[in-house]
Amino acid sequence: MTTTMSIRELTRNGSMFGKYDYIDIEDKKSHEYKGVFISAEYAEDVKKFLEKKLAKAKQEKLDRVMKFAGKGSIHKRFENLTASQIREKKAKEQYGQE
């Protein structure tokens, strides 16, 4: 069983937790959805679901980053140079100073 109530209603009547599988919480003035309380009976299942969902999202982000990782290579003439040394060398080459 489910229901929707405000935080004020929920705090006034804590016995509601035992009657419902989950309770949607909304702001009664703005009708803005604030969250959900889950019955202790289902809390572990919800936790496992969220952990899987978060792990999947994290893996997808990592896969997107890894798609580009290792794609670039450094030309031999720039090996063992710092970023500023590379910029300096490229500038000299561009203006024919080397």
**Model pLDDT for residues 70-85, shown as the tens digit of each residue:** 666 777 877 788 888 8
SS3 34: strand
pLDDT at 44: 94
Q: What is the pTM of this model?
A: 0.52
pLDDT band at 6 (very low <50, low <70, confident <90, very high): confident
In 3D space, the residue among 38, 54, 52, 46 whose CA is nearest the CA of residue 1 turns out to be 38
Q: Hey, what amino acid is at 78? A: F
The pLDDT tens digits of the residues spanning 42-72 come to 999 999 999 999 999 999 988 888 777 766 6
Contact yes or no for 34/27 (Cβ under 8 A): yes
